Chains A and B, each alone.
Chain A
Amino acid sequence: MKEERLTGKGIVKTYGKKDVLHNVDLELEKGKIYGLIGRNGAGKTTLLSILSAQNPATKGTVDYNGMPVWENREALDHICFSREINPVNNSKANGYRAKDYLKAASIYMPGWDQEFADRLVKEFELDVKKRAAKMSKGMLSMITIIIALASKADYTFLDEPVAGLDVVMREYFYRTLLEEFTNSGRTFVISTHIIEEAADVFEEVIMLDKGNVILKENTQELLGRARHISGLAENVDRASAGLLTFHEETMGRSKGVTVLLKEGEKIEGGTELSVQPMNLQQVFVALCGKNEN
């Protein structure tokens, strides 16, 4: 039986003379929660837009189970990209109410679960009669989350869903997401800047940097091979020789580097060095932050 997957091949997106995505190849398997992380302007939203056929790619293809996604109703019925809602629409206050968005979603999304949507509205304590222009960022995020979760789409993309949510609601979101994932086996792709909080939820992480996918890996495996080495500069250089290093920091005679170990590699150094595991946020900053080597 052919396994369900959403595949992007050679995706290029250009706006004017600027390349936003460079030859991105990506395969999303069914039944996983992916974390899509990248700096501002890395191309996360553009990539999600193209994967969901909301925007055309300049080059490249996106297929769902071998079917092109672009203008294909059959494929699009399985994909949902719940976008950020703006309180301002073309320089005019957004007069739509939350219920207008939910009503439209219930019409357009074939798998829409109204009961689930109603439960989420209640749990989020969302006033559905309030206009988007009068809503806080957190409330607008709630609408996005409700649409994404209640869509019941096989591939669901959320773009910074927790922006503006307070910590209680963020916890509730992650709990509900995991519950929904466990019950349905849907694939979720979540882009976020609050990496450490979401890291436990991500089965795989996709790192995007300046329009390139620089890493796509199982989160635990990635964290298993990422290490921060610090100590005297000469010791650190000796220990990290031949290893893939990132993000060097120098302070006087001391030095710190991030390394990503390949299979079979290990760090030699003994007690002269401090070798620490890293969390996902630290790995991301090392790979995509400034002063990287």
Chain B
Amino acid sequence: MKGYLRGMFYWVCCLEKLFFSILGGVVVVFAVFAFVDKDMEQFYRWTLSYMPMMGVIFFIAGGINIANEQIPMVMSLGTTRKEAAWGVIIAMHGTALQFWILTIVYNAFLPPTYVVDSYVKVCGVLFLFGCAGGNGLGAVVLRFGSKVGLRVYLCSLFLLVGGGIFIVKLAGAAAVISFISSMGVLVAAILFDAAVSAVYRMSIRNYEVRV
């Protein structure tokens, strides 16, 4: 148990450091808009658009970074593979929840004219997919190495971004938001996330620390 707690503490520290750096950046931008530009409309539109995107990118980049740099380091400090895997999985999900709570709080304070239907639900689903995506890419890196992981990441990014833009242009933003906020997609996200977490655990099973 102590090993798990120690590991969890480490991952949480790393992810929280990154989270608060991003939050700090957002606060600075907010201050600029609020006190210098005095144009909050632009700020609200900007954050509503970029918050879900930043959340997804955070997890995907985080997942790859953890697998490439932090897993080798902590493995060389005597953690077991099981502890490392569960530490990462739980810390990533915890951070996804944190992002979602931040979205809920932000949505509660938004002026009514800017509130978008199902925004919180859509963000939650996207963060869950982002978390699964990050852990999935991490699993690829752990199992096949960073070069293969980078190729998979670039291909996935191309397909996701390209595919996303195409679908939004074709069906319209409202339809896409409605689809993402449906129960079916939420269930799919949960199942996908669970499957990826299991794959992550399996991928680290015989992980070798190499310098």
Please report the C-alpha to C-alpha distance between residue A73 and residue B80 in the assembled complex, in whole angstroms: 7
- Nearest residue, chain A, Cβ from B4: A73
CB–CB B209/A83 < 8 A:
yes
Binary flags per residue of B71-108, CB closer than 8 Å to A gives 1, else 0 = 01111111111110000000000000000000000000
Please report the C-alpha to C-alpha distance between residue A281 and residue B82 in the assembled complex, in whole angstroms: 42
- Nearest residue, chain A, Cβ from B81: A71
Contacts of B2 in A (CB 8 A): 73, 110
**What distance in Å separates the Cβ of B103 from its nearest Cβ neighbour in chain A?**
29
**Interface bin, chain B:** 20 to 34
- Nearest residue, chain A, Cβ from B80: A71
A72-B80, A107-B10, A108-B74 known; 13 new pairs, CB 8 Å cut-off, are: A45-B211, A49-B209, A54-B208, A73-B83, A77-B78, A79-B78, A81-B78, A90-B69, A91-B146, A92-B68, A107-B6, A108-B77, A108-B79
- Nearest residue, chain B, Cβ from A153: B78
CB–CB B78/A52 < 8 A:
yes
- Nearest residue, chain B, Cβ from A49: B209
Is residue A158 contacting chain B, with contact meaning CB distance below 8 A?
no
Contacts of A54 in B (CB 8 A): 75-76, 208-209
- Nearest residue, chain A, Cβ from B68: A90
Interface set, chain A 77-136, CB cutoff 8 A to B: 77, 79-86, 89-92, 94, 96, 101, 104-105, 107-110
Mostly helix, strand, loop or mixed at chain B's interface? helix
Contacts of B13 in A (CB 8 A): 107
Contacts of B77 in A (CB 8 A): 80, 104-105, 108-109, 147
Mostly helix, strand, loop or mixed at chain A's interface? loop
Known A55-B208, A56-B208, A90-B146: A96·B69 in contact at CB below 8 Å: yes
Is residue A51 contacting chain B, with contact meaning CB distance below 8 A?
no
Contacts of B172 in A (CB 8 A): none
- Nearest residue, chain A, Cβ from B210: A55
- Nearest residue, chain A, Cβ from B8: A107
**What distance in Å separates the Cβ of A102 from its nearest Cβ neighbour in chain B?**
11
Is residue A76 contacting chain B, with contact meaning CB distance below 8 A?
yes
Known A104-B73, A104-B74, A107-B10: A71·B82 in contact at CB below 8 Å: yes
Interface set, chain B 97-147, CB cutoff 8 A to A: 146
**What distance in Å separates the Cβ of B46 from its nearest Cβ neighbour in chain A?**
29
Is residue B164 contacting chain A, with contact meaning CB distance below 8 A?
no
**What distance in Å separates the Cβ of B141 from its nearest Cβ neighbour in chain A?**
9
**Interface bin, chain A:** 35 or more
Known A71-B80, A71-B81, A96-B73: A108·B7 in contact at CB below 8 Å: yes
Contacts of A83 in B (CB 8 A): 76, 209, 211
Known A96-B69, A104-B10, A108-B7: A84·B211 in contact at CB below 8 Å: yes
Please report the C-alpha to C-alpha distance between residue A89 and residue B72 in the assembled complex, in whole angstroms: 10
CB–CB B80/A76 < 8 A:
yes
| B211: contacting residue among A73, A79, A86, A104, CB under 8 A | A86
8 contacts between A and B (CB under 8 A): A49-B208, A55-B208, A73-B80, A81-B76, A89-B72, A96-B73, A104-B73, A108-B7
Binary flags per residue of A215-252, CB closer than 8 Å to B gives 1, else 0 = 00000000000000000000000000000000000000
Please report the C-alpha to C-alpha distance between residue A111 and residue B173 in the assembled complex, in whole angstroms: 55
Contacts of B9 in A (CB 8 A): 107
Is residue B49 contacting chain A, with contact meaning CB distance below 8 A?
no
| B73: contacting residue among A49, A53, A101, CB under 8 A | A101
Interface set, chain B 1-54, CB cutoff 8 A to A: 2-3, 6-7, 9-10, 13
**Best-surrounded residue of B13, B75, B78, B83 (most CB of chain A within 10 A):** B78
